[in-house]
């Protein structure tokens, strides 16, 4: 084994953020590489090429009770990865296979082979398996198809429209024949949504003054969705969610996927919850990892759409593990366009 490769890097959480995370919450560590000889039964040594950064990680960094256990301090930050098998004691995988798994913020790792998924990188780039064909894509698919059951002619609103989930939601809804309106932060994201992902309209919330944000948001929505909102895929919460409630049509459906506005600070309270009653709305909060039965169909359909170029796939890629904390903080601030990844190896 080459001496230069005898170590690898990982990032651990050393303190829990108060509000927005900072670089100081993380620590980059250098560890000796696991030896292929040390692998136990069914274990696999994986070299990670890409790390996925996702908003749910912020929730795990808190000690608060949530739908999943907290990230432990001084342990490798959790996260989905895509990479290549270096050595395998698992019958289903061999050296050179490309796989996805949850190896965390680390350049390599050892994991039971049953927890890896072998993936096709002939027709589809490795990184796409963490985005449009990974959790964000399946989340979008489930919301649009199962919870919202989008139908032609309906108006669908999606927040964080420039993000990994929102950009797929909009495209899937367009394929279903919906009128699609997005909310995103920044002119470039809005332009991209309209020009490259087929959105009919996109509201740039960063263009809004803050004097009477509620009223401004409702006005913008009623212009972008003059016939009202039938379907809402909510990723953000706060003022945009509240304004969307004000514009709901009767029997509107809401897929509540994220409330990222409240992850780092107290979310704005909702003023228009009464609309859920007067519009006889249905709302469902969901976590895609609880819907494992839907994954095979979702991935099969998404794969076909990607191969047939019916879905555009946009990524923002940071270079090197050391860039992960900054990229993560940037993502929470909405600086990414599409799926936020970190490239760990070529």
Residues near its own copies (CB under 8 A): 59, 66-67, 237, 241, 250, 256-259, 262, 266-267, 269-271, 273-274, 276-287, 290
Nearer to its own copies, 17 or 55 (CB): 55
Nearer to its own copies, 211 or 266 (CB): 266
Q: How far apart are CA 120 and CA 124, in angstroms?
A: 7
Q: How far apart are CA 193 and CA 171, in angstroms?
A: 9
- Cα 131 to its chain centre, rounded Å, is 7
State the nearest-atom distance from the C-beta of 282 to its own copies, in Å. Answer: 5
Nearer to its own copies, 194 or 283 (CB): 283
Nearer to its own copies, 170 or 258 (CB): 258
Nearer to its own copies, 40 or 269 (CB): 269
DSSP string, 39-91: --TTEEEEEEEEEE--THHHHHHS-S--SSPPPPTTSBPP--EEEEEEEE-ST
Please, are residues 105 and 62 in contact by the beta-carbon 8 Å criterion? no
State the nearest-atom distance from the C-beta of 328 to its own copies, in Å. Answer: 20
State the nearest-atom distance from the C-beta of 295 to its own copies, in Å. Answer: 17
Q: How far apart are CA 94 and CA 307, in angstroms?
A: 26
3-state secondary structure of 24: helix
Please, are residues 169 and 136 in contact by the beta-carbon 8 Å criterion? no
State the nearest-atom distance from the C-beta of 14 to its own copies, in Å. Answer: 25
State the nearest-atom distance from the C-beta of 227 to its own copies, in Å. Answer: 14
Nearer to its own copies, 221 or 321 (CB): 221
DSSP string, 202-225: EEEGGG--STTHHHHHHHHHHHHS
State the nearest-atom distance from the C-beta of 312 to its own copies, in Å. Answer: 27
Q: How far apart are CA 158 and CA 173, in angstroms?
A: 10
Nearer to its own copies, 26 or 56 (CB): 56
State the nearest-atom distance from the C-beta of 145 to its own copies, in Å. Answer: 17
Phi and psi, residue 30, nearest 5°: -110, 125
């Amino acid at each position: 084994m080459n001496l230069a490769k005898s170590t690898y890097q990982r990032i651990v959480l050393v303190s829990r953020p108060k509000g927005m995370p900072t670089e100081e919450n993380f620590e980059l560590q250098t560890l000796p590489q696991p030896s292929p000889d040390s692998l136990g039964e069914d274990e696999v040594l994986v070299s990670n090429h890409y790390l996925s950064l996702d908003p749910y990680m912020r929730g795990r960094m808190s000690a608060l009770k949530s739908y999943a256990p907290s990230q432990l301090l001084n342990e490798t930050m959790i996260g989905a990865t895509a990479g290549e098998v270096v050595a395998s004691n698992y019958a289903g995988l061999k050296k050179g296979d490309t796989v996805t798994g949850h190896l965390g913020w680390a350049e390599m790792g050892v994991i039971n082979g049953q927890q890896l998924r072998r993936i096709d990188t002939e027709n589809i780039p490795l990184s796409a398996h963490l985005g449009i064909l990974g959790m964000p894509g399946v989340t979008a698919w489930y919301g649009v198809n199962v919870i919202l059951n989008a139908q032609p002619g309906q108006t669908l609103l999606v927040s964080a429209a420039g993000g990994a989930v929102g950009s797929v939601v909009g495209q899937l809804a367009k394929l279903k024949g919906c009128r699609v309106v997005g909310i995103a932060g920044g002119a470039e994201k809005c332009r991209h949504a309209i020009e490259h992902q087929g959105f009919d309209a996109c509201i740039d919330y960063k263009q809004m003054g803050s004097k009477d944000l509620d009223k401004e948001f409702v006005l913008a929505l009623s212009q972008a969705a003059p016939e009202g909102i039938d379907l809402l895929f909510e990723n953000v919460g706060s003022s945009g969610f509240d304004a969307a409630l004000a514009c709901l049509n009767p029997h509107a459906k809401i897929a509540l996927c994220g409330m990222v506005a409240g992850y780092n600070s107290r979310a704005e309270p909702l003023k228009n919850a009464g609309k859920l009653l007067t519009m006889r709305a249905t709302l469902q909060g969901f976590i895609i990892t609880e819907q494992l039965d839907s994954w095979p169909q979702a991935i099969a359909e998404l794969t076909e759409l990607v191969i047939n170029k019916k879905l555009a796939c946009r990524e923002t890629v940071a270079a090197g593990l050391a860039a992960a904390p900054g990229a993560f903080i940037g993502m929470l601030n909405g600086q990414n366009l599409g799926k936020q990844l970190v490239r760990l190896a070529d």
